[in-house]
């Protein structure tokens, strides 16, 4: 579904609310040429207690952390970005939506050095359902191991959510879709499992969970963190600092992706090898159900994961 079909009309740009159609930037913007932007992807859920930003503090913290290696000073405080986001949701009466804040080097000079370029900041919100489709959440997806490797964390900070990094994600994802798969798994430079193009990955084996550690060149996913906490609260042991070899994918009992967009998406086949029983596995289902129960009900135990928006 394209933006034209969505009922969204306002974007926040550098302190102003701008009509969606007028939210334009100069073609010589540094971030366009060199990928020098950092961004976030978060969700507002329509919980039983009202619309709420999910793990918003963590998303804002990651945005500011992502800016650090690029010496980018975001001109707005976290409070200002929160107020702008809430106002966008309120103005457009969007009780559940996806939220995309971005900060990037703007227009001034086109040397690789951004030192004369202003930092520009924008936030957009729009309705976005299941990223990989409703069917994917229930029945799982078929994925392929990409022939593209992930950048090593010695080459570029892979823990920063940087615009330029996503050409690697795009290559991997499009290669998978061209070959008839829904999504890719990307290996790191060492050949171990890193993550999906926009998702972290979990493996279930003998009733325990495993997910690649932060030194495996992955993004420190906020849904990854939520799922680790949920799984532990459900009584599972989670190994979150391990290397996972490619072959371990084939022999896993269950596999699933996590992400703010992808939420908790089961994986049923990798390169046409059936994983476990070839459908959503029981532990994946239990964690997925708990995740959706939490974002629907916003229960007291997880209250600090929610920042409410009055609409
Ligand atoms: N890895 C990559 C490369 C991503 O783009 C994302 C999406 N932000 C994730 C993992 C999952 O992170 P999160 O749960 O914070 O959305």
- Percentage of the chain beyond pLDDT 70 is 100
23 & 138 share domain: no
Give a yes or no: residue 302 inside a domain.
Answer: no
Q: Are residues 117 and 154 in the same domain?
A: no
- For residues 88 and 148, membership in a common domain is answered with no
Measure 256 CA to ligand 1 centroid, in angstroms.
13
CA of 258 to the centre of ligand 1 (A): 8
Distance between CA atoms of residues 73 and 78, nearest Å: 12
Q: Does residue 147 sit in the same domain as residue 85?
A: no
Q: Among the atoms of ligand 1, which is closest to the Cα of residue 200? A: 10
142 and 288 together in one domain = yes
Phi then psi for 164, rounded to 5 degrees? -60, -30
Binding site membership of 219 for ligand 1 (Cβ less than 6 Å): yes
Ligand 1 centre distance from Cα of residue 196 (Å) = 8
**Does residue 177 contact residue 307 with C-beta atoms inside 8 Å?**
no
CA pair distance 198, 184, nearest whole angstrom: 9
CATH of the domain at 42: 3.30.470.10
Residue 304 in domain: no
State which residues form the domain around 112: 7-126
Instruction: Assign 285 to helix, strand or coil.
Output: helix
Residue 153 CB–ligand 1 contact under 6 Å: no
Q: How close is the Cα of 109 to the center of ligand 1, in Å?
A: 31
pLDDT at 10: 97
- pLDDT value at 295 more than 80: yes
Cβ burial of 246 (10 Å; 0-12, 13-18, 19+) is middle
pLDDT in tens, 58-78: 999 999 999 999 999 999 999
Q: Does the Cβ of 212 fall within 6 Å of ligand 1?
A: no
Nearest by Cα to 241 from 201, 210, 285: 210
Ligand 1 near 195 CB (within 6 A): yes
What pLDDT is recorded for position 113?
97
Domain co-membership, 281 together with 151: yes
Do 143 and 244 fall within a single domain? yes
Active-site residue, from 161, 189, 269, 290 = 161
Q: What is the pTM of this model?
A: 0.97
pLDDT at 256 > cutoff 80? yes
Alpha-carbon span 13 to 17, nearest angstrom: 6
Claim to verify: residue 181 and residue 274 sit in the same structural domain: yes
Q: What is the pLDDT of residue 1?
A: 64
The answer on pLDDT for 134 being more than 90 is no
Give 211: exposed, middle or buried? Use CB within 10 Å, 0-12, 13-18, 19+.
buried
What's the 199 CA to ligand 1 centre distance in angstroms? 5
* Active site annotation includes 78: no
Q: Is residue 306 included in any domain, yes or no?
A: no
In ligand 1, the atom with minimum distance to the C-alpha of 158 is 3
Q: What is the CATH number of the domain that holds 174?
A: 3.20.10.10
State which ligand 1 atom lies nearest to the alpha carbon of 58: 15
Task: State the sign of the Cα–Cα–Cα–Cα dihedral 298, 300, 306, 310.
Answer: positive
- pLDDT tops 90 at residue 131: no
Residue 254 within any structural domain of the chain? yes
| Residue 58 φ then ψ, to 5° | -65, -40
Could you tell me if 120 and 142 lie in one domain? no
Q: Which residues pair with 109 in a beta bridge?
A: none
The answer to whether the beta carbons of residues 36 and 164 sit under 8 Å apart is yes
Give how many domains the chain has, as a whole number.
2
My answer on whether 165 and 259 are in the same domain is yes
Which is it for the CA torsion 294, 295, 297, 298, positive or negative? Answer: positive
Q: Give first-to-last CA distance, the chain, whole Å.
A: 25
| Number of neighbours of residue 95 by Cβ within 10 angstroms | 15
Domain shared by 115 and 141, yes or no:
no
């Amino acid at each position: 579904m394209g933006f034209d079909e969505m009922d969204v009309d306002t974007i926040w740009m550098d302190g102003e609310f701008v009509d969606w159609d007028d939210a334009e930037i100069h073609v010589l913007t540094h971030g366009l040429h060199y990928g020098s932007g950092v961004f976030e992807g978060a969700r507002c859920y329509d919980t039983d207690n009202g619309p709420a930003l999910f793990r918003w503090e963590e998303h804002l913290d990651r945005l500011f952390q992502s800016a650090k290696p690029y010496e980018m000073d975001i001109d707005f405080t976290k409070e200002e970005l929160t107020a702008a986001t809430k106002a966008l949701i309120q103005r457009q009466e969007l009780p559940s939506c996806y939220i995309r804040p971005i900060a990037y080097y703007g227009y001034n000079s086109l040397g690789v050095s951004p030192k004369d370029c202003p930092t520009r900041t924008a936030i957009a919100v729009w309705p976005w359902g299941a990223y990989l489709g409703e069917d994917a959440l229930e029945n799982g997806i078929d994925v392929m191991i990409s022939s593209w490797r992930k950048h090593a964390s010695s080459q570029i900070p892979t823990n920063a959510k940087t615009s330029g990094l996503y050409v690697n994600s795009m290559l991997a994802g499009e290669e998978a879709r061209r070959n008839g798969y829904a999504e890719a798994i990307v290996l790191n430079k060492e050949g171990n499992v890193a993550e999906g193009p926009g998702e972290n990955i979990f493996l279930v084996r003998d009733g325990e969970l495993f997910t690649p550690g932060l030194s495996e060149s992955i993004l420190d996913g906020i849904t990854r963190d939520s799922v680790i906490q949920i799984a532990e609260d459900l009584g599972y042991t989670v190994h979150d600092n391990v290397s996972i070899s490619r072959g371990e994918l084939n022999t896993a009992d269950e596999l699933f992706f996590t992400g703010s967009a992808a939420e908790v998406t089961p994986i049923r086949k990798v390169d046409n090898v059936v994983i476990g029983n070839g459908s959503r596995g029981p532990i994946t289902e239990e964690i997925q159900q708990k995740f959706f129960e939490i974002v629907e009900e916003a229960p007291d135990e997880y209250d600090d994961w929610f920042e409410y928006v009055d609409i």
